[in-house]
Amino acid sequence: MIDIRLIRKDPDLVRENIKKKFQFEKLPLVDEVIELDAKYREAKLRSDNLRSERNTISKQIGTLMREGKREEAEKIKSQIGKMAKQLEESERLEKEYFEKVQEIMLQIPNIIDDTVPIGKDDSENVEVERFGEPVVPDFEIPYHVDIMERLDGIDLDSSRKTSGSGFYYLKGDIARLHSAVLAYARDFMIDKGFTYYIPPFMIRGNVVSGVMSFAEMENMMYKIEGEDLYLIGTSEHSMIGKFIDTILDEESLPQTLTSYSPCFRKEVGAHGIEERGVYRIHQFEKQEMVVVCKPEDSKAWFDKLWQYAVEFFRTLDIPVRVLECCSGDLADLKVKSVDVEAWSPRQQKYFEVGSCSNLSDAQARRLGIRVRGKDGNYFAHTLNNTVVAPPRMLIAFLENNLNEDGTIRIPEPLRMYMGGKEVIG
């Protein structure tokens, strides 16, 4: 959510931003919100004036009664009664206009950063940098499910019976590897100075609408029937929601948090051979990093966060690249975002394994996350980034650490979490 004062002051800037995001259907919302905002302020002024006038007149009643001027006092009481009805109607309109303004403001996208490349969709994202040499071995790299099945590490048939498509059973050393990656990611971020959290895995509707757009909510979130609770799609939702309606001391910033959670998402995603695997699924686990900071620090933290993800993958000998998300690929709350993609020797291309986002004060405005500064309160900035999501990361890990004999090499950082094992097979 952007500041309504920006629309009042520079509506053309807001319109141009909508055009950069290729959301032309939202252009009429700017004029609509300007008109409703004017009506809201007019109704609010009327309500304020009526309350002030009522209070002034009410003070006269006691004086008149003490002076024995009961008849005049009764006339004022009658006048106050009429004013009460006017105030009631004015307050009703004030509330109605305010709610309509808020509803529209939630649909208007955040102002993107000047450095964001302009493009319609993810096909126009821009490569920033590559880290590590992408290698294609002399031997054939099987599909990731085939690698897991040869190691007796996955059972998709049973999960289809219990839960349907988009789920899996991991077992044996592959399940242990999954847990090892998460444990290593946890300790990796703790070593960076982040505080470890395990958050609630369900959140209320007002938190959901505070951390994401309506379109994202509809496409991602599972709702608990009969309750105001949603299963989280990522622990960022709970972690940002943790600060709802709080005023943080400036000295307490930045808040640097790393959180583990299962994640639940409605969409399986693209059709085709990947549906048989674990690239797009309904349930997975993830280690996340979240930062709440002062506005002037958010750009620096954005660069730190995606660099942490790159460093993590490189310690496991996985080549990665970073892509700058173009304007049309940014969710409405984001001002800037990059995707971290891992190298797939089998497909001989990179694929997404994480995303780093700067949301400026959009989530803070929606959730009421303020900072107590020397010159008054202001909204915090929030950022998030994936450390690792093992289902996708496992694909990259297995392909990049596969030996010709079918065994899997375990890089040194993971061995302590794998009971000292150097190889799976």
Active site residue 355: yes
| Maximum distance among all Cα pairs of the chain, rounded to whole angstroms | 107
Give 4's contacts (C-beta < 8 A, 6+ positions apart): 33, 37, 101, 105
| CA dihedral (334, 355, 314, 116) positive or negative | negative
DSSP string, 120-137: SSGGG-EEEEEES-----
Rounded Cα distance, 326 and 121, in Å:
7
Rounded Cα distance, 216 and 243, in Å:
21
| CA dihedral (101, 107, 108, 109) positive or negative | positive
Query: What size, in residues, is the chain?
Result: 425
Rounded Cα distance, 421 and 47, in Å:
72
Instruction: Confirm if 411 and 180 have CB atoms less than 8 A apart.
Output: no
Q: Which of the following is catalytic: 130, 204, 280, 409?
A: 280
> Hey, is 277 helix, strand or coil?
coil
Rounded Cα distance, 47 and 237, in Å:
37
Q: Which of the following is catalytic: 47, 321, 392, 399?
A: 392
Q: Which of the following is catalytic: 235, 259, 355, 357?
A: 355
Q: What type of residue sits at position 123? A: S
Active site residue 5: no
Active site residue 280: yes
Q: Which of the following is catalytic: 15, 159, 259, 265?
A: 265
Look at residues 379, 425, 384, 381 and name the one whose alpha carbon lies nearest to residue 403: 425
Q: Which of the following is catalytic: 53, 352, 409, 415?
A: 352
Output 145-149 pairs: Cβ under 8 A, ≥24 positions apart. Answer: 145/276, 145/277, 145/278, 147/398, 147/399, 147/402, 147/406, 147/408, 148/174, 148/394, 148/398
DSSP code of residue 402? B
DSSP string, 159-171: HHHHT-TT--EE-
Residue 286 pairs in a beta bridge with 261
Rounded Cα distance, 298 and 288, in Å:
17
Look at residues 155, 143, 150, 148 and name the one whose alpha carbon lies nearest to residue 174: 148
Active site residues: 265, 280, 352, 355, 392
